[in-house]
Amino acid sequence: MVSFVVEKPHRISNGVVSETTRLSIIPNNSSSAQKTLLKNLEIINGGQRVNAWVDSMRASSPTHLKSLPFSASSEKHLSSWIMKHPSALEMFKKITEASGGKQIVMFLDYDGTLSPIVDDPDKAFMSSKMRRTVKKLAKCFPTAIVTGRCIDKVYSFVKLAELYYAGSHGMDIKGPATGFSRHKRVKQSLLYQPASDYLPIIDEVCKQLLEKTKSTPGVIVENHKFTASVHFRCVEEKKWSELVLQVRSVLDKYPTLKLSQGRKVFEIRPMIEWDKGRALEFLLETLGFANSNNVFPVYIGDDRTDEDAFKALAFLSPNFPRIPMLRTLCKIRPR
């Protein structure tokens, strides 16, 4: 198993350090501290709970590299960092060599991996060059896009019928269009939606979130069919407390939904045991590679939600070589 994450340099008080998207929302990157914060979010109330959410929002929003003053030391540090964390594409020859002739299966995140991170999620277009690269991958290996976006939206960006798509954080899985798959292990009609019962609830929640947050400039609410997102990338920090209260006021009415946080985004998902990791397990099983020693799954992603996929592959394939720190396929700015 080969997994990829992205590290992005940013500055703290004592100089320039590297910040990885594996970083939790806790400033000191401690797993125990993360558990403590999450526990506190559940047991405290009022201003304390809001402050805890705002602190986590701030911790997961590093300063943009472009805004940092240039210095010889920072430039040297950046060059050294790039040397230690090469491009995933530049490393692909080593990946194929590491596979040892096993069947490679490619899993790709979309935002920040195949497309740049942008302020408007509707404008996260992938380049023509990237599309050609993914098309070539799909000719060689079974290839899937695994994303938090709904399938229809990500397909409108990717426009490749030969891929597998796992949208809504893996809660909506679809196989290649009829006649496009080069891999005969799976039926063309593959379709799996473990959260189908939640369709009307998610739709209702999105409408309420749109109404509740309309007074907060910069908020973007996205309906991903089986999940929802509330983006606060363009919201002034002084408005974050207000936004937390707005989102919580809606979600408190829906005990079957859970709220989590990504990079400058709140994620609303059904409270079921399903995530990107489970989606990968399902796809590997569908392709006939469940409990197989002849498969070499590769996952490339850049966000905290991709951790579910990394953990699943580490559990399924503990003996596979692991390359934990590589840059993604496209040039992106810090989130």
Catalytically active residues, by annotation: 109
Cα 89 to Cα 134: distance, rounded to the nearest angstrom: 11
Cα 139 to Cα 132: distance, rounded to the nearest angstrom: 11
DSSP H helices, 44-87, are: 46-59, 72-84
CA-closest candidate to residue 328, choices 299, 302, 305, 289: 302
The CA distances from residue 186 to 2, 91, 177, in Å, are: 23, 29, 12
The one-letter amino acid code at 47 reads G
Cα 153 to Cα 171: distance, rounded to the nearest angstrom: 14
Cα 241 to Cα 229: distance, rounded to the nearest angstrom: 17
- Kindly report each contact of residues 215-218 with a partner whose C-beta sits within 8 Å and lies 24 or more positions away, as own/partner: 216/242, 216/243, 216/246
Q: Which stretches does DSSP call E strand in 5-142?
A: 7-12, 15-20, 103-108
Q: DSSP string covering 284-305, please?
A: HHHTT-TT-SSEEEEEE--SGG
